[in-house]
């Protein structure tokens, strides 16, 4: 398992906590920036991480911005990406168990580094429940192929 992390200036405060959580889980990761507090545009970082997942370079992603919302909206434009905006531990678990999400989005202005660490641990240790949830995820995938 390899994870790509992307953030903007609003999410950078959570990056170290995410890296620490992945290290403690023994999961390999790559930091795709941003690396400073200078203002940048979150869709650029969402695109970087999602392209890496689509190309198979990494398996999953973590995207961090001020609220997590802009990153989630951007990431979910990519075919094959299921990005979950997470602000509590229950949703971090359900994002995998029910939705088989491949990207975790969180907000540095609404989530503390300690919380982020717990959400990352929950997200990356949960397992997809399959069965009826597989049918529903298949329906999400079918939606990607439709003009809506
Ligand atoms: C940047 O100010 C902010 O808009 C961004 O980090 C994010 O919260 C967008 O959804």
Q: Which of 6, 8, 40 to mutate to test the pocket of ligand 1 (most atoms within 8 A of CB)?
A: 8
Q: Using CA atoms, how far apart are residues 122 and 108, in angstroms rounded to an integer? A: 18
Q: Is the pLDDT of residue 84 over 80?
A: yes
- Whether the CB-CB separation of 106 and 116 falls below 8 Å is answered with yes
Q: Using CA atoms, how far apart are residues 132 and 55, in angstroms rounded to an integer? A: 28
Residues classed as catalytic: 65, 98
pTM value is 0.98
- Whether the CB-CB separation of 8 and 34 falls below 8 Å is answered with yes
Instruction: Give the pLDDT confidence of 1-48 residue by residue, as tens digits.
Output: 999 999 999 999 999 999 999 999 999 999 999 999 999 999 999 999
Name the domain count of the chain: 1
Per-residue pLDDT, 137: 98
Q: Is 133 exposed, middle or buried (CB count within 10 Å of its CB: 0-12, 13-18, 19+)?
A: middle
pLDDT band at 148 (very low <50, low <70, confident <90, very high): confident
Per-residue pLDDT, 147: 74
Q: Using CA atoms, how far apart are residues 18 and 143, in angstroms rounded to an integer? A: 31
Residue 85's domain comprises 2-144
CATH of the domain at 59: 3.40.1400.10
Which amino acids bring their CB within 6 angstroms of ligand 1? 8, 10, 42, 65-67, 69-70
Q: Which of 10, 73, 111 to mutate to test the pocket of ligand 1 (most atoms within 8 A of CB)?
A: 10
């Amino acid at each position: 398992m390899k994870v790509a992390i992307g953030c903007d200036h609003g999410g950078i405060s959570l990056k170290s906590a995410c890296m620490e959580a992945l290290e403690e889980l023994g999961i390999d990761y790559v930091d795709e920036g941003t690396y400073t507090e200078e203002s940048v545009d979150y869709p650029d970082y969402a695109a970087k991480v999602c392209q890496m997942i689509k190309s198979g370079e990494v398996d999953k992603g973590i995207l961090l911005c001020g609220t997590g919302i802009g990153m989630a909206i951007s990431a979910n434009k990519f075919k094959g990406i299921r990005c979950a905006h997470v602000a509590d531990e229950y949703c971090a678990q359900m994002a995998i168990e029910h939705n088989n999400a491949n990207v975790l989005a969180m907000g540095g202005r609404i989530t503390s580094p300690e919380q982020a660490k717990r959400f990352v641990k929950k997200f990356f240790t949960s397992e997809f429940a399959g069965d009826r949830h597989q049918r529903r995820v298949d329906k999400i995938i079918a939606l990607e192929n439709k003009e809506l």
